[in-house]
A and B are shown apart, each in its own frame.
Chain A
């Protein structure tokens, strides 16, 4: 096969599709390298191929009170291995209302003491989650409410933008953290493909300061991809015990009520968020490719806006779902 024919063969499996002219017009992205758009990111020392953007939005998020949560969890006798719905009922009739009551039971006492022992007097969030996750469905509102056991600064929201559908390079990682009254968003952008490695290293450091992750479809997609891309660069990500994937909760909560569970649909129908001139997710890879080819930062602006809205909506969604979880607790 000669080289020109090889190029033809490769072309079919290569580059991202060009964004349509309408899409470009809509966003006001010029075709050629443009001098108008200036990105005001910060370059982290030691990572020349990344830019970081930080923003702070007032944000008020209340978790259900810990004592209320604890009160409802200790009543769940079936959290003890060997106790099912029937036996719970039986024990309750015998006067064993809570796991604490059970610690004196001749048969179940030892198990109950051991279980409560792993949780500790202050209720260690990771230990409680391990138990809840074993016995409750992944979409149980209690699993969200239990985020209240985690110190709020150790909850990490995250969202990715990638160059393709699967196993493609990651070029943007957004993370968000809670303070008492605000949401701190940080976006790490790779300004060339060489920056991916630094993004992953930085995200790895974020994980060390996190006890819980919050994502949308992150268990199936984002986390898997992060692990895969890290392995690609011979890095490892330390696993985080608690991962609240809000997609599971949305599916359960809005089953049959919404046409689909895309984040955009949730925003419109549940969160009341209106996006203006938003870049559709499907065009994100081609916009970034356009940037790589032209060197013009213009296509990056809509990507950053889109991604920041995604992560803000993620926090809003958690608040909406927690409202319901508070009732449950």
Chain B
């Protein structure tokens, strides 16, 4: 359906209230093919499939053939996987002993890719004997896989456990040609730092066995592919980011649910879903939680002429998921409502339309979701429905920002002492650490390990001598500082760091885990356990944070407009004083919390304003700074991949250490996650985006779509919208005031 037809069909719909505020046609692009010589069997297999290589795939293949590493960041459905499957197929059929290792962030993704790779393997007769190997691999199959699989698909947690058993994998490691990190955008923040350390350990072992594999990093589109690949693998990679695949015309519709205040967002999404399926468009709708997905699906099913609308969730059994996925591919299922579980990886074919209910936290995710609509050169439709959140609604006012997405930055934190010590202990348990393998920056960690009796020096090198296996004494999540377990019915659902535990897992908190809602009953910080129960609730909760921040050291300074910006180490005293329950985007009630304050060190970035314009009166100054702080935090996810809740802040008319009016933002995790560093480098753009967001909001005194923060521990008091706009203008260089 063409965009104008759709819009006029909408106009004729009696339920339509003029919610479409912007509708942009995105022009199609024709496929750009490239002819490169392939091994006959691979070429024949691709011919039989009717597959021709796109230019970006050929570029990646040629770079790999030239011995380079590759980071490939073309969009969803552009055929990234073929770009590394082809070299795998060719190299492994040229050399019958050669092997490859594929790492996936999640087991489900590895399983899905195993099927595709197996099919390709059969078609080419390359005898890759691909196999997954992880916690789910049956005991009786393990030895056989170690003996003969030539492509092993696993995940970082499993690799962490298996590295010390390297002698059992000697064949795989000694013949390793290619290491593939697929869906690598999952490796961000502290967890990503862990993966980088793990890869360094892998490289060390592979080197011990005499192999020199090349690395492929495959990720959703991001702003800094080369830097990210280097941070992850420690090696330089050729970046392949320009999409050469065919894409049909795409329309992106920005839908303002506030245009119909009588109807909830869920209701409007359901109406749209049934409308589109009735127009014959196969549609996927993304919701934040499973409860919401089910509500949208059942409402849409009731309204729609078709029965073929379902919800999809991560918790389904494998065969149920497979059926649903097949029904989607075959077109039997006309509408599906999913949590982010279907965002990427799983093959469901291309649909006609995607509805995004709420901004999924990053443009990276938003475009992964949008990418589910569109198949080859057929037209597709994306409808974006924002919540009443500053960043969500910002895109209604600045749709180009959404449309011209070039990717957020993906950063890994600087290595903490804990990371170094933990991975050093594991490395020493894998092979004795020779003195030259302990870098200057590891010295302190190595000393601490020696002093605690975990490392001992011998003529063979430093060896690990703990009572427990190093890989059990140092689980990956603990090195990432995740010392609190979220437990339901005796089962650990996930682990989190103590800052996040206080923020998201306080008694009474509603937590989302794989789309399901859980209510936390107790939080024991000494034992590191949050106890939760599975419960379908239709509200969410928000912890209210207050903090005091002491600056420990400034490591860099810069000028941004008329403000001074600095970054450095800070000490945070953080309290969660209470929490709000939120129903249908409206705050329903506030409850007090009695959690002890938490003191920790992290990275901060702060702006000081020495010349406050006269228009801002002294009494208004705090409200101006406070409002600007909220706006800056809301916009942070535009620049660096993070959750707005990962960044916290304080503002003061006179900071005792800077001696000036100050706004300070910090990484809300012990030791930092690398966010403050990016925000420091991008401060002018951040301030300009915040300025544009606030000044374009039509409210008078600040509203939930600009200045009001659901997380504010001081009840959003005081706030001054005109003051905030002036403060942000001070920090945004003149040429950038109208957005970036």
Chain A: residues with CB nearer than 8 A to chain B? 1-3, 6-7, 9-11, 13-17, 163-169, 192-194, 196-197, 227-228, 231-234, 285, 289
**Minimum C-beta distance from B570 to chain A (A):** 14
In the complex, what residues of A have CB within 8 A of residue B170's CB?
Answer: 231
- Say yes or no: A192 contacts B466, CB within 8 Å: no
**What are the 4 closest A-B residue pairs judged by CB atoms, nearest first?**
A231-B167, A194-B458, A13-B473, A164-B467
In the complex, what residues of A have CB within 8 A of residue B24's CB?
Answer: none
- Counting CB contacts under 8 A, is B469 at the interface? yes
- Say yes or no: B469 contacts A6, CB within 8 Å: no
In the complex, what residues of B have CB within 8 A of residue A233's CB?
Answer: 432, 460
**Minimum C-beta distance from B271 to chain A (A):** 52
A-B contact pairs, 8 of them (CB 8 A): A10-B452, A14-B454, A14-B467, A15-B453, A163-B467, A165-B467, A196-B463, A232-B430
In the complex, what residues of B have CB within 8 A of residue A232's CB?
Answer: 430-432, 463
- Say yes or no: B165 contacts A228, CB within 8 Å: yes
- Say yes or no: A231 contacts B166, CB within 8 Å: yes
Complex CA distance for A169 and B468, rounded to whole angstroms: 11
**Binary per-residue interface labels of chain B (155-195) against chain A in the complex, 1 for a CB within 8 Å, 0 otherwise:** 00000000011110010000000000000000000000000
In the complex, what residues of B have CB within 8 A of residue A165's CB?
Answer: 467-469
- Say yes or no: A6 contacts B463, CB within 8 Å: no
Complex CA distance for A27 and B469, rounded to whole angstroms: 29
**Minimum C-beta distance from B431 to chain A (A):** 6
Chain A residue nearest to B483 (CB atoms) is A9
Binds A, one of B73-81, B413-421, B511-519, B721-729: B413-421
Q: A10-B421, A169-B465 are in contact. List 18 more A-B contacts (CB 8 A).
A: A1-B670, A2-B601, A6-B445, A7-B448, A14-B452, A14-B454, A164-B467, A164-B469, A167-B429, A167-B470, A168-B466, A168-B467, A193-B463, A194-B458, A228-B167, A231-B167, A234-B431, A289-B453
- Say yes or no: B456 contacts A193, CB within 8 Å: yes
In the complex, what residues of A have CB within 8 A of residue B167's CB?
Answer: 227-228, 231
Chain B 276-310 residues near chain A, CB threshold 8 A: none
Complex CA distance for A113 and B470, rounded to whole angstroms: 53
Chain B: residues with CB nearer than 8 A to chain A? 164-167, 170, 208, 416-418, 421, 429-432, 444-445, 448-449, 451-454, 456, 458-460, 463, 465-470, 473-474, 601, 670-671
In the complex, what residues of A have CB within 8 A of residue B466's CB?
Answer: 13-15, 164, 168
**Minimum C-beta distance from B413 to chain A (A):** 12
- Say yes or no: A10 contacts B444, CB within 8 Å: no
- Say yes or no: A234 contacts B467, CB within 8 Å: no
- Say yes or no: A166 contacts B460, CB within 8 Å: no
B430, B431, B452, B601: which has the most chain A beta carbons within 10 Å? Answer: B452
- Say yes or no: A192 contacts B448, CB within 8 Å: no
Known pairs A6-B417, A228-B167; A1 contacts B601 (CB<8 A): yes
Complex CA distance for A193 and B417, rounded to whole angstroms: 26
Complex CA distance for A10 and B417, rounded to whole angstroms: 11
In the complex, what residues of A have CB within 8 A of residue B432's CB?
Answer: 232-233
Complex CA distance for A228 and B170, rounded to whole angstroms: 12
- Say yes or no: B469 contacts A166, CB within 8 Å: yes
- Say yes or no: B417 contacts A285, CB within 8 Å: no
In the complex, what residues of A have CB within 8 A of residue B467's CB?
Answer: 14-17, 163-165, 168, 285
**Minimum C-beta distance from B529 to chain A (A):** 16
**Minimum C-beta distance from A63 to chain B (A):** 33
Chain B residue nearest to A293 (CB atoms) is B453
Complex CA distance for A163 and B466, rounded to whole angstroms: 8
Known pairs A193-B456, A193-B458; A1 contacts B448 (CB<8 A): no
In the complex, what residues of B have CB within 8 A of residue A196's CB?
Answer: 458, 463
Known pairs A227-B167, A231-B166; A7 contacts B417 (CB<8 A): no
Q: Which of B417, B429, B445, B453 contacts A14 (CB 8 A)?
A: B453
Complex CA distance for A6 and B460, rounded to whole angstroms: 26
- Say yes or no: B444 contacts A3, CB within 8 Å: yes
**Minimum C-beta distance from B212 to chain A (A):** 18
- Say yes or no: B208 contacts A1, CB within 8 Å: no
Complex CA distance for A242 and B417, rounded to whole angstroms: 48
Complex CA distance for A67 and B417, rounded to whole angstroms: 68
In the complex, what residues of B have CB within 8 A of residue A194's CB?
Answer: 458-460
Q: Which of A1, A6, A13, A192 contacts B474 (CB 8 A)?
A: A13
Q: Which of B164, B430, B448, B458 contacts A6 (CB 8 A)?
A: B448
Complex CA distance for A16 and B601, rounded to whole angstroms: 31
Q: Which of A2, A6, A169, A227 contacts B421 (CB 8 A)?
A: A6
In the complex, what residues of B have CB within 8 A of residue A17's CB?
Answer: 467
Chain A residue nearest to B456 (CB atoms) is A193
Complex CA distance for A43 and B126, rounded to whole angstroms: 56
Chain B residue nearest to A285 (CB atoms) is B467
In the complex, what residues of B have CB within 8 A of residue A193's CB?
Answer: 456, 458, 463, 465
Chain B residue nearest to A190 (CB atoms) is B458
Chain B residue nearest to A292 (CB atoms) is B456
**Minimum C-beta distance from A61 to chain B (A):** 34
Complex CA distance for A6 and B469, rounded to whole angstroms: 19
In the complex, what residues of B have CB within 8 A of residue A231's CB?
Answer: 166-167, 170
In the complex, what residues of A have CB within 8 A of residue B470's CB?
Answer: 167
Complex CA distance for A11 and B465, rounded to whole angstroms: 13
In the complex, what residues of A have CB within 8 A of residue B429's CB?
Answer: 167
In the complex, what residues of A have CB within 8 A of residue B165's CB?
Answer: 228
In the complex, what residues of B have CB within 8 A of residue A197's CB?
Answer: 458-460
Complex CA distance for A163 and B453, rounded to whole angstroms: 12
In the complex, what residues of B have CB within 8 A of residue A168's CB?
Answer: 465-467, 469
Chain A residue nearest to B170 (CB atoms) is A231
Complex CA distance for A14 and B454, rounded to whole angstroms: 6
In the complex, what residues of B have CB within 8 A of residue A3's CB?
Answer: 417, 444, 448
Known pairs A165-B469, A231-B167, A234-B208; A9 contacts B418 (CB<8 A): yes
Complex CA distance for A192 and B166, rounded to whole angstroms: 25
In the complex, what residues of B have CB within 8 A of residue A163's CB?
Answer: 465, 467
Q: Which of A1, A166, A228, A234 contacts B418 (CB 8 A)?
A: A1
- Say yes or no: A167 contacts B421, CB within 8 Å: no
Chain B residue nearest to A230 (CB atoms) is B167
**Minimum C-beta distance from B454 to chain A (A):** 5
In the complex, what residues of B have CB within 8 A of residue A169's CB?
Answer: 463, 465
In the complex, what residues of B have CB within 8 A of residue A285's CB?
Answer: 467
**Minimum C-beta distance from B450 to chain A (A):** 10
In the complex, what residues of A have CB within 8 A of residue B164's CB?
Answer: 167, 228
In the complex, what residues of A have CB within 8 A of residue B453's CB?
Answer: 14-15, 289
- Say yes or no: B445 contacts A192, CB within 8 Å: no
**Minimum C-beta distance from B472 to chain A (A):** 8
**Minimum C-beta distance from A52 to chain B (A):** 19
In the complex, what residues of A have CB within 8 A of residue B451's CB?
Answer: 7
**Minimum C-beta distance from B480 to chain A (A):** 12
**Minimum C-beta distance from B526 to chain A (A):** 13
Chain A residue nearest to B449 (CB atoms) is A10
Complex CA distance for A326 and B628, rounded to whole angstroms: 90
Chain B residue nearest to A289 (CB atoms) is B453
Chain B residue nearest to A192 (CB atoms) is B458
Complex CA distance for A17 and B466, rounded to whole angstroms: 11
- Say yes or no: B468 contacts A13, CB within 8 Å: yes
Complex CA distance for A233 and B460, rounded to whole angstroms: 8
In the complex, what residues of A have CB within 8 A of residue B474's CB?
Answer: 13
In the complex, what residues of B have CB within 8 A of residue A15's CB?
Answer: 452-454, 466-467
**Minimum C-beta distance from A236 to chain B (A):** 8
In the complex, what residues of B have CB within 8 A of residue A9's CB?
Answer: 418, 421
**Minimum C-beta distance from B246 to chain A (A):** 50
